[in-house]
Amino acid sequence: MKNKPQAAPTAIKKSAGTKVFNGISYVLLAFGAIVCVLPFIIIVSGSFTDNVTILKQGYSLFPRDFTLEAYRTIFRSPKDIIQAYKMNVYYTVVGTSIGLTMIALTGYVISRQEFKYRNTVSFLIYFTSIFGGGMIPWYLMYANVLNLKGHTLAIWFPALMSPFLVILMRTFIVGAVPNAITESAKIDGAGHFTIFFRIVLPVLKAGLATVGLFLALGYWNDWYRSSMFSTNSSTWQLQFYLYDLLNATTAMKQMASNVSMKTADLPTESVKLAMAVVATGPVLLFYPFVQRFFVSGITVGAVKG
């Protein structure tokens, strides 16, 4: 990017129209940002609000009758949630590391000019995103053909790769490693594995980070593979544990109201919110540190290379 100091925007006197335009930009952006953050505030403040207050007066933007009761309730018997956390970390780490390796290798291969079938392979990978057998054959493949129902493999294997991430990775590799460099390495006698590990990987940090984060985010937030393949609650993903808890508390409340019993002694509403905070916590905690990879890194390219 060229930046001429003498041509900086401040050098030219801003017209009234520009000022108005800028003012509107600031206001609209602030509005957009607030709308995006608002729901988080509702959840967090709700989790700190006394359950009786929620039941009587409903949810609100700021915590009223501040209390830690909901969090105490959760951590009074933390065995289940710790198990769900452990499983989620396991799925995320295993899935992301294996998936990222596979995606990087594939991205490297389909970015090689000398690889004659690069466009064919790209298309065959992309093809899976526009045509498929549908959810049921996919489910039966894992559940009945491979017999993986209840196995943790069925949770992390299906999400190892996606056409979108492969193409994203290829774009990164093409951008980070000019063909001339790998060509000269080849002339010096380097094989493809050497080129990949010694030349491509070291300069691919941004690509690995971005694709890896997409993978990790997908694993962390997933719930539906548990809903399909888990037979035992000890292998549940965190989000599915949360999902089940939400439905269970609803059911509990239903039952309580049926027998006209007070639900007040169990802080159901605020517990739900506190659970949501606990489940999202790590993502939002990491977010400020990793968001720059997303913010600078996502470009889209065509399937053909």
Matching residue, tokens 């505030």: 41
Minimum CB distance to other proteins smaller for 21 or for 66: 21
> In whole angstroms, how close is the CB of 259 to other proteins at the nearest point?
18
Minimum CB distance to other proteins smaller for 8 or for 259: 8
> In whole angstroms, how close is the CB of 103 to other proteins at the nearest point?
8
> In whole angstroms, how close is the CB of 56 to other proteins at the nearest point?
9
Phi, psi angles (nearest 5°) of residue 225: -70, -35
The length of the chain in residues reads: 305
Write the DSSP string, 83-129.
HHHHHHHHHHHHHHHHHHHHHHHHHHHHH-TT-TTHHHHHHHHHHHH
Minimum CB distance to other proteins smaller for 26 or for 75: 26
Minimum CB distance to other proteins smaller for 178 or for 288: 288
DSSP 64: S
Minimum CB distance to other proteins smaller for 101 or for 179: 101
Q: Which residues contact 71 (CB under 8 A, 6 or more apart)?
A: 47, 274, 278
> In whole angstroms, how close is the CB of 292 to other proteins at the nearest point?
9
Which three-class secondary structure state does DSSP give residue 79?
helix
> In whole angstroms, how close is the CB of 180 to other proteins at the nearest point?
19
| Measured distance CA(12)–CA(23) in Å, rounded | 18
Minimum CB distance to other proteins smaller for 143 or for 181: 143
| Measured distance CA(231)–CA(133) in Å, rounded | 24
> In whole angstroms, how close is the CB of 75 to other proteins at the nearest point?
19
Write the DSSP string, 237-263.
-HHHHHHHHHHHHHHHHHHHHHTT---
